[in-house]
Chain A
């Protein structure tokens, strides 16, 4: 057994810093590169792409990245784990095989985890009495069944562990929890018991720290953010994991960013609910038990993590179509920028009303004044304000109303308050609203499957 492994975060979401995984594999020693590509909205986008082309439906950044890093990870024996397979992990893996063959790389084992996609099984579940009720409202999924776009179960670390045990160099999954990507190599390398919930929780906590990339190393840090050096080449976090469950979070020395008690604490609190019940498919971690020790030199020890047995359910994320929305904006300059913007909003709303358009919601924000902090924004002295952007957003189940709204923004330039500009983008176009339906499903009904792609 290794006495420690170094697991590096390469992406915090699909669209994150493209150079980050390249830095991780070139600027220092690591054993694993883990990359989270999937947000809820990503799954519905990928499903749409797959519907149009059965060979798509995965994060297309992956083959491009692999072209750059495959020779390096092969030479350094770095294993890659990612959930960027989206709704088509097999096609993603095949694309990576193509890249490897093109580069002349031999003996590479790619594993794929499938089985999370239950889009085609919803009727089967409903017929057998599994109702997939909304976790918060308790409503039956029947209400939105005809509008479902994607449906995936969140798998945890264990299918990835199986893939690693089969000797995979690269593991590509569909919907896997972000934390499972980081926990899996620890279970695999250290032989942790499936019932050792404290250790599984320790690995889960490390996964939570890594899952948003540089948010653990100084990115989006609300403490003393100006003290963060070299944001331009920010180092993504690395979890140095030990067999006893202790983890030291660090980063490559030559890269920017900062790892301190404060930067790690902020990430630990990111998007959590009840800290004592951080539920994953692998365990229920207690975030209130976590202890941190700042060792200096961008090293923070995470230890004493406690946790409990996992639940008997997988979480399901269903996305469904829920009408359309559009956003328009215009910018008004000094003098009286805010007064002009507010007048424009009143005029526009009156016109929408006269047209008898149907909206579920109309919302106006004044960027430069209250768009982020709303009623908490300080009152402003208009003499001190150079410009205000009026941003108006609408949502409707009637697409025609949204389209007409898009045609009512530009006229304000010649038919409303003066010193107005900023309509270069053209008419706001309706975009489809995708909503989410969180549900639970008994683990006994869904089974992950690990497939190995191998060639000589």
Chain B
């Protein structure tokens, strides 16, 4: 069964130099089980193919039902140097929520 990430989670993103961080928070415990299992660093890297040019690191915050992703080399040089329209990665959390996840029924 395919589910939309945006149906089970919300999030926020921002900049850390040339890296972007994306925090994804599940709405409930079942949602956290799903993202904890399926929303891997590899999948996020693949999702942002061509946008994230460095590695993706994943950190877990189970108390908050949340995962934090650091996407290195993503913001076109970062903050004030970047020519990107969204130079601070503010819309990247929404971009990650576009993902669909295949889960067992």
Q: Which of B34-73 contact A (CB under 8 A)?
A: 47-51, 57, 59-66, 68, 70
B80 touches A136 (CB 8 A): no
Q: Which of the 9-residue segments A68-76, A348-356, A433-441 touches chain B? A: A433-441
A438 touches B86 (CB 8 A): no
B76: chain A residues within 8 A (beta carbon): 361, 363
- Asked whether any CB of chain B lies closer than 8 Å to the CB of A125, the reply is no
A436 touches B91 (CB 8 A): no
Option from A223, A262, A435 in Cβ contact (under 8 Å) with B80:
A435
Option from B19, B25, B62 in Cβ contact (under 8 Å) with A269:
B25
Bitwise, A130-168 to B at CB < 8 A (1) or not (0) is 000000100000000000000000000000000000000
A436 touches B85 (CB 8 A): no
User: Which B residue's beta carbon lies closest to that of A40?
Assistant: B79
B81 touches A322 (CB 8 A): yes
User: Which B residue's beta carbon lies closest to that of A393?
Assistant: B83
A270 touches B64 (CB 8 A): no
CA separation between A438 and B11, bound complex, in Å? 27
B83 touches A373 (CB 8 A): no
CA separation between A41 and B80, bound complex, in Å? 7
B98 touches A269 (CB 8 A): no
Option from A136, A262, A268, A292 in Cβ contact (under 8 Å) with B17:
A136
A375 touches B51 (CB 8 A): yes
A367 touches B14 (CB 8 A): no
Chain B contributes a number of interface residues (CB within 8 A of A) equal to 45
User: Which B residue's beta carbon lies closest to that of A224?
Assistant: B10
A438: chain B residues within 8 A (beta carbon): 17
A266 touches B10 (CB 8 A): yes
A325 touches B83 (CB 8 A): yes
A262 touches B12 (CB 8 A): no
B49 touches A375 (CB 8 A): yes
A262 touches B95 (CB 8 A): no
Q: Which of the 9-residue segments A85-93, A271-279, A336-344, A415-423 touches chain B? A: A271-279
B50 touches A265 (CB 8 A): no
User: Which A residue's beta carbon lies closest to that of B95?
Assistant: A373
From B23, B60, B84, residue with most partner A Cβ within 10 Å: B23
29 contacts across the A-B interface (CB closer than 8 A): A41-B80, A220-B90, A222-B11, A222-B12, A265-B64, A265-B65, A266-B25, A268-B66, A269-B11, A269-B23, A269-B64, A269-B66, A269-B68, A270-B14, A271-B16, A273-B16, A273-B21, A273-B70, A274-B70, A275-B61, A292-B63, A292-B64, A363-B83, A363-B84, A372-B85, A372-B95, A374-B50, A434-B80, A436-B80
Known: A270-B12, A394-B83. 5 other contacts (CB 8 A): A222-B97, A276-B59, A288-B60, A292-B63, A361-B83
Q: Ordered nearest first, which 10 A-B pairs have the shortest CB separation?
A: A269-B23, A393-B83, A223-B10, A271-B14, A371-B85, A372-B91, A363-B83, A266-B12, A373-B95, A222-B10
